Structure 1
Amino acid sequence: MSASVPVKITALGLAIVMLGGVVATGIVGPFGGGPGGPAYAHGPAQRWGAAASSGAPSGKPGNRVLPESLRGRYPSLTWRPPQNEATVETPPAATTTGFDPKTSTEIPAARSAYDTTYANTDGTETTEFSTVPVNYRTAQGWRPIDTRLTSDGRSGWRNTADSVGLDFAPTASAPNLATVDTGASQQVSFGLDGASAANGTVSDSTITYPGVKPHVDLKLEARPGGVKETLVLDSPDAPTTYVFPLRLNGLTPKLVGGQVVLSDAAGETKAVIPAGDMLDAGAARSAGVTYRLTGSALEVTLDAVWLHDPARRFPVQVDPTIKMPVDGGSGTDAMYVQEGVGSAKGDQDLLVGTVNGHQSASYVKFSDLVGKLQYHTIFGAQLWMVEYNSDSCKPREITVDPVTGSWTGGSGYSWPGPAVGGSLASKSFAHGYIAFGHSSSDCPTAGETINLGAAGRDLVQRWVNGDQPNYGLSIRGSDDSLSGKWFTGTGTANPPKLYVTHSPYNASYSIPNPVPNRRCCRTRTARSRSPSPTRARSPGRPGTTTWPTGPTTPPPALPSRSNAPRTSPVPSPAAAA
């Protein structure tokens, strides 16, 4: 046993040495010790001192200050981006080609009594305004009037398409030489007492019976809504009295104000025979045609003194016409005014320049235009007229002027006629003159289109916008002794027409506040809905965006706390759009 004692003592020494090594590291153990004492094993070193002493730690007991956020490391900025500013600029001039007979197509739904509208390939429309009806109403809508004469399936002729039916006999001696069917079993038929059995010859819408009386031919022309009867006298020896037996079904004639009115049982006017007149080859006109009802016949008497005047130039045309009454919304009127003579209706002729030594000017009006094109954009206007006679084949200038005063076609006006403004356009031409000894013209009858230009376009624009009354147009010539021109009137087969190219889109734009009221980046909860701009359709530019107006204010500053509520930014006008 004595041998084992040294071994135990050695193990205890090793334990003491190991403990000493630990004490040397400054750990304070459970055996006491303090400042100035031996270094015993202990916990983490504590800094000692009074609160007022320098270097004392700050903060509350149990320091709970949170570390700075990433946002808190940077200063708050005021956001003042550059303002957006909107302006209205003048758009580039639109290039339009207008009507092209090869590519433009009619718009049947746009028809009305006095006009026809075509769609052009450039997006515009062209409306043809006539001074006589061009369409008639049916149960299926408006249909084009076709006055051409076709066979009636027997031996006579009839008009092709119209609300009024017209039938013509093959010979002039037939008791029912012509029949006008006004509808509802109401008819007017007439013949010419003592007429020869001359056979009629048809050309387009006109049938001619030659030699019905000595020195007299009879022409019957199908017109929209009626028939025009013309006695053509080739000599002063022609008769001055003519009797037309009437055969009426459901109608009663009455002479009112120089014209014959045909009324139904309720007293409603169904047809009229307007007061007649005479026109010689030199365009001299006379109202010396009187009517008298004798039983069931109409007696027509001509002014023999006027016919036998040495100044008369034959042939002379005598015009009684049977037609449907004109509605209050007929939309057309025409006349001419001559110096020293006065005014006359322009149904047969429209005189311009110096005619038979008298300065002359014509007036024509298309009253349906404003109602048809109200507030449309106007791109152009052209006036079309047919010149059938002139004083020479040397071109003479005419002008088209806007009429600035109210007028009604017919008598009662003296030269120079209702007031006009500055000329819109001019053109020089000559048609229809037949030189002495020649049987035909070197400048035959033709239609002329007069482009009214920018001034005419602007005039029509003012009409349809309601800025200026539509008093129509005046066609005028020079005072040159050979400047006389004869144009076909509103009651002929080739009446004046006005072609207007337009678009139904017509909008103007303004921005009351050129700086939009920005609505970007306002603080909202996650459920907030962003405001949307008001989408407004305008006739000119569909889908125009309108923004609210008002003073512009900077957006609110963003919160600086990291625990601020989440925001849902409101998009800017540009982003929303």
Structure 2
Amino acid sequence: MRKVPRGAVAAIVSLALLSVGIEAQQADALPAADPKPTAAPPAKVASRPDVVSAAVSARSQGSRVEVESMRTETSSTWSNPDGTMTTEAHAAPIRFKTAAGWKDVDLTLQKGVDGSVAPRSHQHGLRLGKKAAATGQVFASAGSGPGRSVEWVSPWRLPEPSLDGTKATYSDVQPGVDLVLDARRNGFENDFIVKQRPAVAPVWRIPLRTKGLTAKPQADGSIQFVDAKNVVRSMIPVGFMWDSVTNPAGDPVNKATVKVTVEQVTPGKAILVIAPDAKWFLDPARTFPVTVDPTYASGSAYANFDTFVQSDYTSDLSSAVELRTGKNGTHTERSFLNFSTAPFKGKDIISSSLSIWQYGASSCTPTTVYVRSTLTLATTATRWSNQPALGSVYGQLSAAKGFSTACPGGRISIPITPLAKAWSNAPYDVGGMALIAANEADVNSWKRFYSTDDTKDPVIGFTWNRPPVGTRHGRTVRGRRLRGTRRHHLVAVLGEPDPVGPHQGHRPGRQHGQVHLRVLHRHRLHPEGLGHLHHPRLCLRHPGRLPPSN
């Protein structure tokens, strides 16, 4: 697939606009016709199939137009009216491929005709249970690729679930215990809400049915599901539990890990055992309700990843729906994000920013957060004592959102143009960044953001041009003066749009021909293209030999 030079696109757009102007001049010379009702302006288009058509539409309607052929699972690209391009690269999948084409991810739960519950659109086919009078019904299932899935089987009768956005609540699956399932992009969160103090600490034994996967417990307390080649396809991260005491920021004060183990019964069948610590659970100081929170997450091949670390915490926090920075009570927090550099490669970056949704703060006093590069990447092994090595500061912003109605939560945009430029020329495939408070000793520096596991995931937006290259297809427009006249010929060699993703199936070297523009003008050609010519005479010809001069 060949690149469309910027000059070629500009020439086509300018030609179209000039043609309209010429027709308008000719119309002015004709006798006035009877007035007719003014037609409504054409509706603006949101997207077009390819770069050229999107560029023409964007210039014509004065607003950006998405290029459908440049969509990927994690990014969208638009053509702007000024000829530049803008890409939004998400830190999580926003769409997925089906037999019918792309489908946007939508985690909003809805009930099917059979009573079962599922997100409107989920790439792993997540399904939640329906009302069941008997035990042994599947209450949650998700796939991890063709022929691979995990089903969670209910040891209780399931009541009719109540739905609220991405959450389904099954009240009193046990006396005084609610089951709450929350849909995630890569799986689901499973919460047991213990509403009153029990006589004994609970232990839940949940049958699992696996297809194409085997459960393997890990030393850190997590459970991995691996395929026949021992590749991790999904996992249950370390679980947590907390009571109802919170700090001023709304965070649980009393939080502890939960022991989660797996007992293999037969191939394809296992028992998941969730056993909260009895001493912690029955402590007289405990305030109910208490939440016990194991999560199931499907693995992916995406380079994007995020997590945060706390100075007094030693477990993996990558499955959380949040990222944090700054001083939180007596401890300090930092966040780390990995992004694929593929969307940036080979682009002439004009501007870029990180858009991240802040929904927590210590106050409405603005404080500065830094974006720093990382020299190594974050992983599930990242802890305060094992952080990625930090590089330079590439962006910063002073802001406060999410503390109260005086400064409600919302997106903040941190300029990171130098980092995006660095990634455009990077030899590596994944780039890392860290979010760190400028003053980690300041209690006002604490901030909380949504992570990739939430619907309001981090996004990097960048506006760019394609850099000129020295090949035939890389030339924008070439012109030449002919035998002492003021007439010039411009030849634009047009090819197909160049791909952003690796799955564009066009053949390299394919040309759509040459467009010859004959321009009769008393001045030299303006270096910025046809848009700066005045009163030209244009001749558009099909591919072939250069038309003769007169």
Q: TM-score, normalised by structure 2?
A: 0.63
Which of residues 235, 238, 254 is equivalent to 1:275? 238
The residue number in structure 1 matching 2:206 is 244
- Report the Cα distance in structure 2 between the residues aligned to 1:103 and 1:279, rounded to whole angstroms: 49
Which of residues 276, 283, 294 is equivalent to 1:320? 294
SS at match of 1:424: strand
- Report the Cα distance in structure 2 between the residues aligned to 1:486 and 1:412, rounded to whole angstroms: 18
- Report the Cα distance in structure 2 between the residues aligned to 1:216 and 1:419, rounded to whole angstroms: 44
Q: Residues 163 and 340 (structure 1 numbering): CA distance in 2 closer, same or farther, change over 3 Å?
A: closer
- Alignment coverage as a number of residue pairs: 407
Give 1:109 deviation, angstroms.
1.9
Q: How does 1:119-134 map to 2 (within 5 A)?
A: 119-134=79-94
- Report the Cα distance in structure 1 between the residues aligned to 2:204 and 2:129, rounded to whole angstroms: 19
CA shift digits 1:422-469 (9 cap, x unpaired): 3612122131x4xxxxxxx535762222231xxx21221111112898
The residue number in structure 2 matching 1:188 is 150
> Is residue 335 of structure 1 aligned with residue 307 of structure 2?
yes
Structure 2 residue runs of 5 or longer lacking an equivalent are 1-57, 472-482, 484-488, 499-513, 516-548
Q: How does 1:224-243 map to 2 (within 5 A)?
A: 224-233=185-194, 237=198, 239-243=201-205
SS at match of 2:435: strand
Q: How does 1:335-414 map to 2 (within 5 A)?
A: 335-341=307-313, 344-348=316-320, 349-366=322-339, 368=340, 370-392=341-363, 394-410=364-380, 411-414=382-385
Q: Residues 347 and 385 (structure 1 numbering): CA distance in 2 closer, same or farther, change over 3 Å?
A: farther
Task: Give the conservation status (yes or no) of the 8 Å contact 1:354–1:477.
Answer: no
Give 1:298 deviation, angstroms.
1.0
Q: Residues 218 and 497 (structure 1 numbering): CA distance in 2 closer, same or farther, change over 3 Å?
A: farther
Task: Give the conservation status (yes or no) of the 8 Å contact 2:127–2:142.
Answer: yes
The residue number in structure 2 matching 1:302 is 276
- Report the Cα distance in structure 1 between the residues aligned to 2:388 and 2:107, rounded to whole angstroms: 34
The residue number in structure 2 matching 1:426 is 397
- Report the Cα distance in structure 2 between the residues aligned to 1:215 and 1:387, rounded to whole angstroms: 34
- Report the Cα distance in structure 2 between the residues aligned to 1:416 and 1:182, rounded to whole angstroms: 29
- Report the Cα distance in structure 2 between the residues aligned to 1:461 and 1:502, rounded to whole angstroms: 10
The residue number in structure 1 matching 2:114 is 154
Q: Residues 103 and 473 (structure 1 numbering): CA distance in 2 closer, same or farther, change over 3 Å?
A: farther
Q: Residues 450 and 264 (structure 1 numbering): CA distance in 2 closer, same or farther, change over 3 Å?
A: closer
Range 107-116 or range 334-343, more displaced: 334-343
Give 1:242 deviation, angstroms.
1.3
The residue number in structure 2 matching 1:470 is 431
The amino acid of 1:115's aligned partner reads: S
Larger Rg: 1
CA shift digits 1:88-132 (9 cap, x unpaired): xxxxxxxxxx9xxx9433333222222222333333333222222
SS at match of 2:299: coil
Q: Residues 119 and 314 (structure 1 numbering): CA distance in 2 closer, same or farther, change over 3 Å?
A: farther
The residue number in structure 1 matching 2:412 is 449
- Report the Cα distance in structure 2 between the residues aligned to 1:231 and 1:215, rounded to whole angstroms: 10
SS at match of 2:342: helix
Q: How does 1:158-169 map to 2 (within 5 A)?
A: 158-169=118-129
Q: How does 1:90-239 map to 2 (within 5 A)?
A: 103-139=63-99, 141-171=101-131, 175-182=137-144, 184=146, 186-193=148-155, 195=156, 197-233=158-194, 237=198, 239=201
- Report the Cα distance in structure 2 between the residues aligned to 1:500 and 1:313, rounded to whole angstroms: 47
Task: Give the conservation status (yes or no) of the 8 Å contact 1:401–1:475.
Answer: yes
Q: How does 1:13-28 map to 2 (within 5 A)?
A: none
Give 1:147 deviation, angstroms.
2.4
Give 1:352 deviation, angstroms.
1.6
Give 1:350 deviation, angstroms.
1.4
Give 1:186 deviation, angstroms.
4.9
The residue number in structure 2 matching 1:490 is 452
Q: How does 1:536-551 map to 2 (within 5 A)?
A: none
SS at match of 1:171: coil
- Report the Cα distance in structure 1 between the residues aligned to 2:493 and 2:201, rounded to whole angstroms: 73
The residue number in structure 1 matching 2:465 is 503
SS at match of 1:462: helix
- Report the Cα distance in structure 1 between the residues aligned to 2:408 and 2:202, rounded to whole angstroms: 31
Determine what percentage of the aligned residue pairs are the same residue: 23
The amino acid of 2:275's aligned partner reads: T
- Report the Cα distance in structure 2 between the residues aligned to 1:202 and 1:458, rounded to whole angstroms: 44
Q: Residues 416 and 155 (structure 1 numbering): CA distance in 2 closer, same or farther, change over 3 Å?
A: closer
Task: Give the conservation status (yes or no) of the 8 Å contact 1:336–1:346.
Answer: yes
The residue number in structure 2 matching 1:46 is none
SS at match of 2:390: coil
CA shift digits 1:299-348 (9 cap, x unpaired): 11223445567887766543323333222xx1222222333445743431
The amino acid of 2:90's aligned partner reads: S
Q: How does 1:48-63 map to 2 (within 5 A)?
A: none
Give 1:162 deviation, angstroms.
3.4
- Report the Cα distance in structure 2 between the residues aligned to 1:450 and 1:164, rounded to whole angstroms: 31
- Report the Cα distance in structure 2 between the residues aligned to 1:474 and 1:311, rounded to whole angstroms: 35
Give 1:269 deviation, angstroms.
5.3
Q: TM-score, normalised by structure 1?
A: 0.60
- Cα RMSD over matched residues? 4.2
Task: Give the conservation status (yes or no) of the 8 Å contact 1:277–1:320.
Answer: yes
- Report the Cα distance in structure 1 between the residues aligned to 2:144 and 2:387, rounded to whole angstroms: 40
- Report the Cα distance in structure 2 between the residues aligned to 1:396 and 1:304, rounded to whole angstroms: 42
Task: Give the conservation status (yes or no) of the 8 Å contact 2:260–2:272.
Answer: no
The amino acid of 1:326's aligned partner reads: S
